Amino acid sequence: MLNLANPFTSNNFDVTASIQSSANRCLPTQALNDTALVAEGGGQRGIFTAGVLDSWLHAGFNPFDLLIGTSAGAQNLSSYMTCQKGFGRNSITSLSRDPKFFNLSRTLIGKHAVDLDWYFDQVEKADNQLNIGCGEERLRSRQLLFTATKADDNSAAFFAPKRDNWLTLLKASSALPILYKKGVKIDNEYYVDGGVAAPVPVEEAYLRGAKRIVVIRTVPKDSAIQSPWAHKLKSVLCNDKRCPKVLDLITHHENAYQRTLDFIAQPPSDVEIVQIHPQQALTSRLVGSRPEWLNTDYALGFQAGLNFLQQDNQHSIKHGAF
């Protein structure tokens, strides 16, 4: 019997205590073959995904043998695999709102507008540290992949994290082009945000053998294809030589997104795709979200996760799946 009570509705919820207690309960769980979870990015809109995954951690639900995340989705899947309920929420509401993290004017003096170096330095500190050892233990029976985009040709890359490169791969998956300058160097190649080439890597999950795919989106199901961060950059930077690069990124991202939507709309006959998404546009933004917006969207995600568990419990009874 799934315990669907919501411990996050209380204003007195202690994120740090929840992270610690969840880590202590981290035990391997059995994964079902050919079952995948895909998590979209979206910057601070990833607070919705954090809510979904926290509801599943609270219920002890993780049947997936393949998990693929892009950018903020990769970060949320990390805390899901390390059993750290509240970790993703705390990272978004605290770290990503810190003035040290984002300052667009820094590009004018040759620095990162999005300071991922500072961000992941904070993640490595004791109070915010991912329990990567727990994640490695759980990955004995499943595979976790982070998407990134090869900077020189905009091709998609998929990396399996290990203890010694976990945070580096997360940084690469989250490195917004231009906002984080050249990107992240891995094996003599530079990589940027996975959302450029693989914003919602559903097809990759299918190509790797998944027959049942759950997709967590951070936009409503029928949202128009758009790259708000890239269009904002276009308006700011089109007076210098970087404008053609921005335009190329916009086009590449939007083409990739359209291919994904087409695949979801008309998948192969041997795969089932289930989407979890907000019913309307989230209040949260890529960056610059207010605390009350984030709290509201987190609650929406948590409830969406509970709704999925209730519906999927009935599916399991009927079909013996999940």
Task: Give me the active site residues, please.
Answer: 71, 193
Beta carbons of 169 and 91 less than 8 angstroms apart: no
3-state helix, strand, coil in the chain (%, to 5): 45, 15, 40
Q: Taking CA 80 as the corner, what is the angle to CA 314 and CA 24, rounded to the nearest 5 degrees?
A: 105
CA–CA distance, 172 with 186 (Å, rounded to integer):
8
In this structure, the number of other CB atoms found within 10 A of the CB of residue 23 comes to 18
End-to-end CA, the chain: 14
Report in angstroms the alpha-carbon separations of 204 from 32, 75, 96: 18, 18, 29
Q: Is residue 284 within 8 Å of 301, Cβ to Cβ?
A: no
- The backbone torsions φ and ψ at residue 112, rounded to the nearest 5 degrees and listed phi first, read -70, 130
As a whole number of angstroms, the distance between CA 236 and CA 231 comes to 9
Contact 77, 100 (CB under 8 A): no
Q: Which residues contact 154 (CB under 8 A, 6 or more apart)?
A: 196, 197, 248, 249, 252
Structure tokens at 283: 């209040």
Helices (H) and strands (E) in the chain, counts: 11, 8
| CB contact at 8 A, 170 and 74 | yes
**Residues β-bridged to residue 32:** 64
